[in-house]
C-alpha cells in the first residue's frame, strides 16, 4: 500500500522514481480504509532532504500511510523556501488547537547540540509537544537531538559533549533480539553517526522502564525503548542517504572547519571514492517494524489514542 502525500510535494516525485508507492489525497479518498496517520516534526535545516529520507522509510510498508508535516509555530527556517513551508507544513499551535490525534510521530534532530536544552529558542514549545504526545500520539520516535531532548524531558537524562565529533559508520550490537522493533535484525549492524554529544549507558540504565535495544562499544547507546511513554529514542541516523555524511564532510572541509574523514564510510577511508551504503536494509527493517507495531496496537478509531 502507498504513502499518501500531496502530488506537488517534492518527495512525491522522488519516491515515485525510486519505485515507492505514493498516492495523492484524491486517490486515497476513494479507498475504504483508515490509513495510519504519521506526523513529522521537522527540525532539520534541509527540510526537503529530511522529508524525503523519512517518507522513503515509512512508505515502504504494506500499509497506507498519511504523512503530515509539522513545524514549530514561531521558529522560521532560513534554509527552505517560505513557499514550501507555507504550502506543506502546519504550525504546531494549529495542530494543538485542532485536537487531532496521530498514530505515530517522528521528531527529528537539529544542529543545535552545543546549546543547553533550555537555551533553544523553541524549547518551551517543544516541551509542550512532548507532553501533547502522551494524550494525542500512539507512538513517538525521537531522532538524534530530538531523541536526546525527549529522554531529557521525560527522565532528566543529560547529554554530554564529546571531545571530538562522532562521525562515520559504526558497528552496533543487537541487545534485544526478541524486541518487536528489532524483528529480522542481525546480531550487529552498521549505522551512520554524526553528533557532538552522547547519552551515557549507566545513566540510561539507571532509569526504570528504559531499555537499550542497540548499543555500540565505540559510540555508546543508539536505540532506547521507553515503554512508559510509548516512545523510541534513536541517537544516530538510519534515515541518512548514501551521500549525507559526504555532504557534511565536504561542507565542513570547504569552510575550513576541523573535521575528520568519516570513519568506515569511504572504501579505504579515501574521500575520493564513492561511499557505500551498508545500513539501508536495517533502516527499512526498523521503521517497518515500528509502523507494524503501531498497526498492531493502535485503536481503529482515532479518538481512542491517548492515555
pLDDT digits (tens, 9 = 90+) for 259-282: 899 999 999 999 999 999 999 999
Q: What is the pLDDT of residue 307?
A: 63
Q: What is the mean pLDDT of residues 239-247?
A: 97
Please report the pLDDT score of residue 114 as a whole number.
Answer: 92
Confidence grade of residue 250 (pLDDT, cut at 50, 70, 90): very high
Q: What is the mean pLDDT of the chain?
A: 91
Catalytic site residue 239? yes
pLDDT > 70? residue 18: no
Where exactly are the structural domains of the chain?
A: 3-164+179-188+196-241+281-304
| Span 291-302, average pLDDT | 84
Q: What cell numbers appear for 285 in the block?
A: 527493517
CA distance 25 to 4: 6
Residue 81, pLDDT > 90, answer no
C-alpha cell of residue 105: 510521530
What average pLDDT score do residues 108-133 get?
96
Alpha carbon 254 to chain centroid distance?
27
* Cell numbers that stand for 66 in this block: 498519511
Residue 49 has pLDDT above 60, yes or no: yes
- Greatest alpha-carbon pair distance for the chain in Å reads 55
CA 128/CA 138 separation, integer angstroms? 16
Choosing from 138, 229, 237, 282, the catalytic residue is: 237
Contact between 171 and 265 (Cβ < 8 Å): no
Give 285's pLDDT tier (boundaries 50, 70, 90): very high
pLDDT of residue 245: 97
Q: What is the pLDDT of residue 196?
A: 95
pLDDT range class, residue 7, cuts 50, 70, 90? confident
Q: What is the pLDDT of residue 99?
A: 95
Please pick, among 198, 225, 239, 248, the residue that the annotation labels catalytic: 239
What is residue 2's predicted lDDT score, i.e. its pLDDT?
57
CA 253 to centroid of chain Cα atoms: 26
Mean pLDDT of 246-253: 94
Reported in sequence order, the residue ranges of 35-136 that DSSP labels E, i.e. its strands, are: 36-41, 65-71, 89-91, 102-107
Cell of residue 82, nine digits: 517560505
- Cα of first residue to Cα of last residue in the chain, in angstroms, is 29
The percent of residues above 90 in pLDDT, for the chain, comes to: 77
Q: How far apart are CA 294 and CA 125, in angstroms?
A: 26
Which pLDDT score, from 0 to 100, does residue 152 have? 98
CATH class as words, domain 3-164+179-188+196-241+281-304: alpha beta
More confident residue, 217 or 12: 217
pLDDT of residue 21: 58
Predicted local confidence at residue 85, as pLDDT: 82
Out of 9-13, 59-63, 129-133, which region has the weakest mean confidence (pLDDT)?
A: 9-13
Dihedral of alpha carbons 4, 5, 11, 12, sign = positive
Single out the catalytic residue among 144, 169, 189, 222: 144
Q: Which of 77-81, 210-214, 283-287 has the lowest mean pLDDT?
A: 77-81
| The pTM of the whole model exceeds 0.85 | yes
**Spatial distance between the Cα atoms of 141 and 125, rounded to a whole number of angstroms:** 18
Nearest to 50 by CA among 67, 64, 63: 67
The dihedral sign for the CA sequence 289, 290, 291, 294:
positive
With 80 as the cut, is the pLDDT of residue 209 above it?
yes
CA distances from 291 to 111, 129, 158 (A): 27, 21, 28
**Does residue 30 surpass a pLDDT of 50?**
no
Amino acid at each position: 500500500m502507498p504513502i499518501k502525500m500531496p502530488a506537488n510535494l517534492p518527495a512525491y516525485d522522488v519516491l515515485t522514481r525510486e519505485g515507492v508507492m505514493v498516492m495523492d489525497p484524491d486517490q486515497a479518498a476513494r479507498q475504504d480504509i483508515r490509513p495510519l496517520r504519521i506526523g513529522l516534526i521537522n527540525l532539520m535545516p534541509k527540510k526537503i532532504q529530511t522529508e524525503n529520507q523519512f517518507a522513503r522509510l515509512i512508505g515502504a510498508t504494506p500499509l497506507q500511510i498519511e504523512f503530515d508535516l509539522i513545524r514549530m509555530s514561531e521558529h522560521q527556517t532560513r534554509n527552505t523556501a517560505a513557499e514550501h513551508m507555507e504550502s506543506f507544513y502546519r504550525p504546531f499551535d494549529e495542530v494543538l488547537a485542532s485536537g487531532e490525534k496521530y498514530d505515530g510521530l517522528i521528531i527529528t534532530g537539529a544542529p543545535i547540540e552545543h546549546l543547553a536544552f533550555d537555551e533553544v529558542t523553541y524549547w518551551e514549545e517543544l516541551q509542550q509537544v512532548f507532553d501533547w504526545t502522551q494524550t494525542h500520539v500512539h507512538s513517538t520516535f525521537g531522532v538524534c537531538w530530538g531523541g536526546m531532548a525527549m529522554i531529557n524531558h521525560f527522565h532528566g537524562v543529560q547529554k554530554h559533549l564529546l571531545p571530538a565529533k562522532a562521525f562515520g559508520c559504526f558497528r552496533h550490537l543487537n541487545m534485544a533480539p526478541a524486541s518487536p522493533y528489532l524483528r529480522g535484525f542481525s546480531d550487529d549492524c552498521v549505522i551512520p553517526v554524526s553528533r557532538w554529544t552522547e547519552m551515557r549507558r549507566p545513566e540510561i540504565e539507571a532509569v526504570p522502564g528504559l531499555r537499550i535495544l542497540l548499543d555500540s562499544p565505540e559510540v555508546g547507546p543508539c536505540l532506547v525503548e521507553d515503554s512508559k511513554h510509548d516512545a523510541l529514542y534513536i541517537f544516530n541516523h538510519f534515515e541518512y542517504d548514501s551521500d549525507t555524511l559526504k555532504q557534511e564532510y565536504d561542507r565542513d572541509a570547504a569552510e575550513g572547519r576541523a573535521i575528520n574523514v568519516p570513519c568506515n564510510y569511504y572504501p579505504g577511508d579515501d574521500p575520493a571514492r564513492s561511499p557505500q551504503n551498508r545500513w539501508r536494509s536495517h533502516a527499512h527493517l526498523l521503521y517497518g517494524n515500528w509502523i507494524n507495531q503501531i498497526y498492531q496496537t493502535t485503536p481503529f478509531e482515532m479518538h481512542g489514542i491517548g492515555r
